[in-house]
Structure 1
Amino acid sequence: MKKTAPRKATPSSLVVLEQESAWTRAELDEVVTELREHHERLTTSVGEAEAELAGLMRDAGDGAGHDQADVGASSFERDHELTVLAKEREMLVQLERALARIDDGTYGVCESCGNPIGKNRLMAVPHATLCMSCKQREERR
């Protein structure tokens, strides 16, 4: 049996809210470009943060001979870098998921309720996975 390549979604096959016009190729290309550029910037940023964090970990040593305040400041900086790095890695995953959803034709469908997210929302937040109602409900929790 012959395998067929995955069908690339067309702009008009993506869902939109009733009052919105269908996606145009230019609009979708703009979103894809924005997602890819953001992904590229974050990939660079994550690489730099990982290198900086490796330096902080290497310089931390056992703390012997260091002033207690310096050790605390170093620990705080290391924790901050770890938090920032984790958030950037999570954003990379979200960007990759958005690009995959564009490819498979599910971009614009709320992952919670299955309703359209809305083209205007996606143009503002291209990696959004929830419609406004579900996002508001999530933020109230």
Structure 2
Amino acid sequence: MVSTTTGKAREQARTAADRATGEGAGSADGAAGAAGLVVRTGEDPWSEQELARVREGLEAEVERLRRDIAEAQTELAERLSDSVAGAGDDPTDTGAKTYQREHELALAYNTRDLLAQSERAIQRMDAGTYGVCERCGSAIGKARLQAYPRATLCVQCKQREERR
């Protein structure tokens, strides 16, 4: 069952996306304005200041994550290039070093994932589709996006995903 709110959110998203790809879309840098973003029923529309704060936070996060990834890559390359560093270690030391390396690789992978999510959120702002659930097309919710600006699913769709 598709509610009227969901239908409206989809239409608003389509209209915003059409505006973003059409002539004169958004501001001089190509970003769609806050006025075109969908919100849930009962929420105030996005103001340009609110959207700018969220965008600035995401851009700062992107820069920090890029630095973290570069540092992790440098450290990992140094460890892997030193072939004699573990020579003579007993099996316990070797196992501990292997665990540490795998842990660092997992952290680097998570950092890359956060970077991709943050970049995608910025792209969605530019396209005018920020705030639209990728699964059902309804509004994600302004409060949810202010708390977790990388969200791509509404609460209901996220709950369904986590139950699987």
TM-score by length of 2: 0.79
Match of 2:163 in 1: 140
CA distance in 1, matches of 2:88, 2:155: 54
| Cα drift, residue 63 of structure 1 | 5.2
Matched, 1:131 2:131: no
Q: 1:34-75 deviations in whole A, cap 9, x for unaligned?
A: 000111111111111111111222235595422111111110
Distance in 1 between the 2:53 and 2:91 partners? 51
> Partner of 2:18 in structure 1?
none
Report the number of matched residues.
138
Distance 2:71 2:23 in 1: 36
Unpaired runs of at least 5, structure 1: none
The answer to whether 1:52 aligns with 2:75 is: yes
Amino acid in structure 2 at the alignment position of 1:42: L
User: CA-atom RMSD, angstroms?
Assistant: 1.7
The match for 2:92 among 56, 59, 69 is 69
Deviation at 1:119?
A: 0.4
Corresponding residue for residue 11 of structure 1: 34
- In structure 2, the CA distance between the partners of 1:129 and 1:61, relative to structure 1 (3 Å rule), is farther
2:116 maps to 1:93: yes
Any conservation in 2 of the 1:7–1:104 contact (CA below 8 Å)?
A: no
Q: CA deviation at 1:21?
A: 0.8
CA distance in 2, matches of 1:5, 1:52: 47
Percentage of matched positions with identical amino acids: 48
Cα 1:60–1:81 shift into 2, 3 Å: farther
Q: Which amino acid aligns with 1:138?
A: E
Gaps of 5+ in 2: 1-21, 27-31
Q: Which AA in structure 1 matches 2:25?
A: R
Q: Deviations over 1:11-52 (max 9, x none)?
A: 010000011011001100000000001111111111111111
Q: Within 1, Cα distance between the matches of 2:59 and 2:86?
A: 42
Q: Distance between the aligned counterparts of 2:133 and 2:80, measured in 1?
A: 40
Matched, 1:22 2:40: no
SS of the equivalent of 1:116 reads coil
